Copies of this chain bind each other. A is one copy, B any other.
Amino acid sequence: MAVRLQDVAKQAGVSVKTVSNVVTGHVHVAPATRERVQAAIDILGYRPNLSARNLRHGRSGLIALALPELDSPYFAELARFVVQAAEEHGLTVLIDQTDGLADRERLVMAGFRSHLIDGLIMSPVGLGPTEIAEHDGHIPLVLLGEKVGAGSADHIAIDNVAAAREATEHLLALGRRRVGVVGNQADSPAGSGVARLRRQGYEQALQWRGIAADPTLIADVPTFGRKQGADATARLLDSGARPDALFCFNDILALGALRMLAERGLRVPSDVAVIGMDDIEDGRWSTPTLSTIVPDKVEIARCAVEMLLNRMGITGAMPSPARDVRAGFALVARESTFGRT
């Protein structure tokens, strides 16, 4: 069952180390020997034991990607790019679902996969900034998303304030003046990150146009789901706030909003224009198609992996100041703000 270097060595009539050298290609091996060893490898069907290898040089080549949800399109797409980027560097990605639960995030960060993992890319939701800052740095860490100010960890995200400002401005430029917000989150210690920043952007855009913020246009949600988007939209419509546009804090909320608007017989965009954020695949095929902020997911993924590698390279406790990178984004106008409907 288990074919070891030793078996190959015996078969080829060489030492174990020589076989190892052939497998890894490290040292000069005479072509004749190499060929003989290779033949033995093929015959026996040898496969290196990665556990042993990892044990030997203290690296596993595995990194973990901790995300709240795999079945949220944004994270699924992001995961794909992270896996690709990691692969380019010879790393394998192990995906961990935290469900946005603080407990699970804490567990992952504490390194319950111990030495199995060389590094961690995490998108924290449940954990507050203070708790993240307590990260003891025993494992290289890169944070995705909106939690800022973690001491020993790098961080990458788009400029959420600017992006939200641009989204809002887009709606205002269409002449809309009662721009509703779907996705606000009252300041809970956890989860406040994204929502707070995006709301800031929204308010800045209003301010620049000299429009007074109307608190009745703000709808809160407990989490970012289609149902929550639909519910919040319903509340907004029922409240008599009469929005002529909706800025949804992400595309999933927006899809829920579109659904609710359709149910209420409101036309998009003529009655209510809608914009989201994230550019998930669904938004390109919904009816109407969804205008949105497109974060550069490829850049985010690539950058996260590179920062992690960087941090992994530094073996010891060398602090090396935490980097905070802003990824690019762009606005794409689709039917939900420009359509003919």
Contact = CB atoms under 8 A, between A and B. Distances in A.
A54 to B, nearest CB: 4
A289 to B, nearest CB: 8
Interface in A37-71: 45, 47-52, 54-55, 58, 60, 62, 69-71
A230 interface: yes
A60 B71 contact: no
Nearest to A289: B259
A76 B70 contact: yes
A35 interface: no
B80 A69 contact: yes
Contacts of A58: 2
Contact of A255 (B45, B51, B136, B285): B285
Given A226-B281, A285-B259, A317 B94 contact: no
Contact of A80 (B97, B114, B315): B97
Contacts of A284: 226
B95 A1 contact: no
A91 to B, nearest CB: 12
Given A71-B80, A95-B95, A256-B285, A55 B47 contact: no
A51 B47 contact: no
A50 B80 contact: no
A210 interface: no
Interface string A226-240: 110010000000000
Interface residues of A, number: 54
A141 interface: no
A174 interface: no
A287 B285 contact: no
Contacts of A52: 55, 115
A125 interface: no
Contacts of A116: 50-51, 92
A285 B69 CA distance: 18
A191 to B, nearest CB: 20
Interface in A317-332: 317
Given A69-B80, A227-B285, A259-B287, 7 more contacts: A2-B58, A47-B114, A49-B55, A50-B114, A51-B115, A71-B76, A79-B95
25 contacts: A1-B317, A47-B114, A48-B114, A49-B114, A50-B113, A51-B115, A51-B116, A52-B55, A52-B115, A69-B80, A70-B76, A70-B77, A70-B80, A71-B73, A71-B77, A71-B80, A73-B73, A92-B94, A94-B94, A226-B285, A255-B282, A256-B285, A258-B287, A259-B289, A262-B287
